Amino acid sequence: MPNYHSEVSRVVGERIRDVRTKVGISQVDLADLSLVHVANLGKIERGLTNPSLATLARIATALDTTLADLVSTVLPEHVPEPDRQITAADLISARAAQRRR
């Protein structure tokens, strides 16, 4: 069983593979068009690595699609819960309370 980088990486990788196969190009062709090493593209499609935003943008452009399309299948349940749940409002309130002391 593969060791996915994250559920988000797996879902995005599957989406990239789906779009690539619908377009009808190989991994080698997509790697060449998007300036990504073919081994890295394979890892991205299998969800074994977390591609940068720039890499995803190059892949989307090469596939004649959008970043939004590549991440459209990511659902809230694919995103891991953070270890700590604090919002920007919580942080601002805490800092304001520290200044008042």
pLDDT tens per residue across span 26-46? 999 999 999 999 999 999 999
- pLDDT number for residue 2: 60
In one-letter notation, the amino acid at residue 68 is A
Range with the poorest average pLDDT among 8-12, 36-40, 55-59, 80-84: 80-84
| Architecture, CATH, for domain 7-100 | Orthogonal Bundle (1.10)
- pLDDT number for residue 88: 87
Contact 55, 36 (CB under 8 A): yes
Rounded Cα distance between 59 and 76, Å, is 23
Rounded Cα distance between 98 and 64, Å, is 51
Q: How confident is the model at residue 20 (pLDDT cuts 50, 70, 90)?
A: very high
Q: What is the pTM for the complete model shown?
A: 0.77
